[in-house]
Structure 1
């Protein structure tokens, strides 16, 4: 059930203090090790600085805020998958500003190690032709109130406006609560020859009815 008074709007730089902890919650230990260089507080500060910078994959320019009676309740970061490479490269400038030279080298070494371990790559992150939900999170005070469902429905309208016929996302294999929600909303795991040990790619085809 969608809460009364729910509004979803484009994010603004002023939403950074709200958005950064939610972004961190979607990145988990991977984000803390990589972007936070092993420190949770540093991760939040870095994500806050990322969010206020335009035109990249963690920016306010590709983010949306769910509000309930004027109070911020949830975050959606989503965009067409064909923009993934451009938006990922756009993160370079805010990263240079966020880290010292020594930290930059630490970031590169940690990133290479984690990416090799996880088998992650931009090429496989989101199927081309899909609308990619990169981050989705609800503030703890508003969980189990339909916020995530409303944000996914909103992503469907964005996909329709972009003339794309499916949604895609990645979910951690051990995040059973999120996986059950996505399956309930029509997402299915992307068929693969070799299941990934850490995360699942999921897709939801959009019919005219589901995208309207």
Structure 2
């Protein structure tokens, strides 16, 4: 009998699980946001931000997928219209280090922006990502938004999961020198 994957809101003490998984997933973007030269340095900065409210990587914007109390993956997201305000603490951090702070915010108005979807290696291929995408749709609906949006680097295998879950490419966006497909789906998925 397969145990059910449940979703819960993250807490500040989830940082040791969440932060490395976020950085592993967002890579270059994490370095840009934090002004770090290495993943380890980025994780240190992200750990501080994770515990604080009011920024894009705050625990307040994270949901944890778990089975029998074991964390399996996470979803990080927020209303796209809030992207600029949620990025401002990172811009302030970069200005304080005399680093460029002119990066583009990712989310767009009118969508619930799925910033990061990450599943542990051991849990991949077992429906955890699909369950987290269902939670993203539920959050969009709960926030009065009719669609979920995300960015995925062209060629990323995760795009197949997104397509199976009803996402389609709406356009391309370039962030920090990398090209991403902007994918959207209705909050109420009609593809299933």
TM-score over 0.5 for the alignment? Answer: yes
- Cα drift, residue 37 of structure 1: 2.3
Work out whether 1:147 is the aligned partner of 2:147.
no
- Cα drift, residue 36 of structure 1: 5.6
- Cα drift, residue 33 of structure 1: 5.8
TM-score, length-scaled by structure 1: 0.79
- Cα drift, residue 208 of structure 1: 7.3
TM-score, length-scaled by structure 2: 0.86
Relative to structure 1, the CA distance from residue 129 to residue 27 in structure 2 (aligned partners, 3 Å threshold; closer, same or farther) is: same
Work out whether 1:201 is the aligned partner of 2:158.
no
Higher strand content, 1 or 2: 2
CA distance in 1, matches of 2:82, 2:62: 14
Work out whether 1:186 is the aligned partner of 2:166.
yes
- Cα drift, residue 209 of structure 1: 6.2
Q: How many residues align?
A: 188
Higher helix content, 1 or 2: 1
Any unmatched runs of 5+ in structure 1? 116-120
Work out which of the two has the higher radius of gyration on C-alpha atoms and give 1 or 2: 1
* SS in structure 1 of the partner of residue 52 of structure 2: coil
Higher RCO (CA-CA < 8 Å; seq separation 6+): 1
Contact 1:23 1:47 in 2 (8 A): no
Moved over 2 A (4+): 29-37, 90-93, 206-210
Deviations along 1:101-153, whole A, 9 cap, x unmatched?
6xx12x32xx55xx5xxxxx22xx33311111011101112111111110110
For 1:116-131, what aligned pairs fall within 5 Å after superposition?
121-122=104-105, 125-131=106-112
CA distance in 2, matches of 1:47, 1:151: 22
Any unmatched runs of 5+ in structure 2? none
